[in-house]
Homo-oligomer: A and B are copies of this chain.
Amino acid sequence: MSHKIAILGASGYTGAELVRLISTHPTMEIAALAADRKAGMDMGEVFPHFRHLTLPKLTKIEEIDFNAVDLVFCALPHATSQAVISELPKNLKIVDLSADFRLRDPAAYEKWYGQPHAAPDLQNEAVYGLTEFYREEIEAARFVAGTGCNAATGLYALLPLVMAGVIDTGEIVIDLKTGVSGAGRALKEHLLHAELSEGAMAYGIGGTHRHLGEFDQELSRAAGHPVEIQFTPHLIPANRGILATVYVKGDAEKIHRTLHRAYADEPFIVTLPMHFAPSTRDIRGSNFVHIGVYPDRREGRAIVVAALDNLTKGSSGQAVQNANLMLGEEETAGLTLAPLFP
């Protein structure tokens, strides 16, 4: 017996990634696809890689009969998400992939997003969607807010270490490299092939990237006291994948042991043996996370490297994983696809 799924914002990359994953999911069935500006079109016109699938036509959100839907994935842009979700039936299961409900503190939201939150009640209800650290809350939740893809990558490297107190929380630097699909299907000059390929650049330098709001929130919660890290994302000429290189002060062996233990039973988190380096090519198109640990030549310092696919484990794969829990399904259902290499 399958669950009826609606996807709002189906014409973007995370929407398409949801369709890809659900297309071989054993117990989910796509009942509705909404994309306002492309309403009336076939999904196969918008994304020709879905031409082989039989899918409902794209509609406007208001045309969807939400009574016939078991769970909604909301893959809408920031701010739009708040407005739309406020209007959805209050008993509907929802997984939001936008940035709108990630920050629990309204003041933090306003600080990072530059405006007051329009739906503080919902913000309060939303469970932060980092599955491995909020599993029980997610199982019981009606409404889950997906994490930022950069935040997820850094948090997988750091959360067990901060919880276990094995690193100095005052001295954390995350240098992150991300593929371009994380920026979405937006028509921006720096996302053109001719501008991006053969290049590498930092952006959001100096602590201005919004995902820092999530880092602050989750690392402070884990530490039990305020934690502020340094974080610099870089855009590299690849489509998928995030590599976070995390510089910490602590004992490398202890760090490796802590991560290994923390993730020993996790189906999607692979702690590599000491001295093995993750690469984004090794997780592309999959829900897996690879984490490696190295001691530095300077005693008491270590480097933790984490890699995941921003569209899968960093957003849509995570969303399906959370939906599985919310629907009482096997957590890994539909998510065991191996990475695509080469």
As a 0/1 sequence over residues 256 to 271 of chain A, the CB contacts with chain B under 8 angstroms (1 = contact) are: 0000000000001010
- For A245, the chain B residues whose CB sits under 8 A away are 175, 202, 232, 234
Taking a contact as CB atoms closer than 8 A, the residue among B20, B194, B208, B290 that contacts A48 in the complex is B290
With A247-B173, A288-B52, A336-B23 as known contacts, state yes or no: A239 contacts B198, CB within 8 Å: yes
Q: Are B238 and A199 in contact (CB under 8 A)?
A: yes
Contact with B along A45-67 (1 / 0, CB 8 A): 00111111100000000000000
Which listed segment binds B: A101-109, A113-121, A278-286? A278-286
Which residues A3-47 have CB closer than 8 A to chain B?
Answer: 13, 16, 19-20, 23-24, 47
- A200 in the interface (beta carbon within 8 A): yes
Q: Is A297 an interface residue (CB 8 A)?
A: yes
Binary B-proximity of A227-238 (CB < 8 A = 1, otherwise 0): 010101010111
Alpha-carbon distance between A239 and B281 when the two chains are bound, in angstroms: 12
Measured between beta carbons, the chain B residues less than 8 angstroms from A280 are: 198-201
Is A319 an interface residue when CB atoms closer than 8 A count as contact? no
Q: Which residues of B contact A210 (CB under 8 A)?
A: none
A191 within 8 A of B: yes
A166 interface hit (Cβ, 8 Å): no
Chain B residues within an 8 Å CB radius of A243 = 200-202, 234
A279 touches B194 (CB 8 A): no
Q: In the complex, what residues of B have CB within 8 A of residue A232's CB? A: 175, 245, 247, 303
Q: List the 10 closest pairs (A to B, CB-CB), nearest first.
A: A207-B297, A199-B281, A201-B279, A175-B175, A194-B342, A206-B294, A49-B339, A187-B187, A49-B282, A205-B294
Closest CB of chain B to A285's CB: distance in Å?
5
What residues of chain B lie closer than 8 Å to A236, measured between beta carbons?
177, 200, 236-238
Cα distance A284–B179 when bound, in Å? 18
List residues 201-217 of chain A with CB under 8 A from any CB of chain B: 201-203, 205-208, 212
Set of chain B residues within 8 Å of A241, measured between Cβ atoms: 198-200
With a CB–CB cut-off of 8 A, which chain B residues contact A179?
Answer: 194, 198, 200
Known contacts A230-B296, A285-B285, A185 near B181 by CB under 8 Å: no
Known: A48-B282, A49-B341. A187 touches B185 (CB 8 A): no
Chain B neighbourhood of A279, CB < 8 A: 48, 199-201
Establish whether residues A195 and B24, one from each chain, have CB atoms under 8 Å apart when the complex forms.
no
Closest to A20 in B: B338
A-B contact pairs, 5 of them (CB 8 A): A49-B281, A200-B241, A206-B294, A207-B298, A236-B236
**In the complex, what residues of B have CB within 8 A of residue A288's CB?**
51-52
Q: Which residues of B contact A50 (CB under 8 A)?
A: 338
Within the complex, the shortest CB–CB distance from A237 to chain B, in Å, comes to 6
A98 to chain B, nearest CB (A): 19
State whether the Cβ of A79 lies closer than 8 Å to any Cβ in chain B. no
Bound: A13/B192 CA distance, A: 13
Question: Does A189 make an interface contact (CB < 8 A)?
Answer: yes
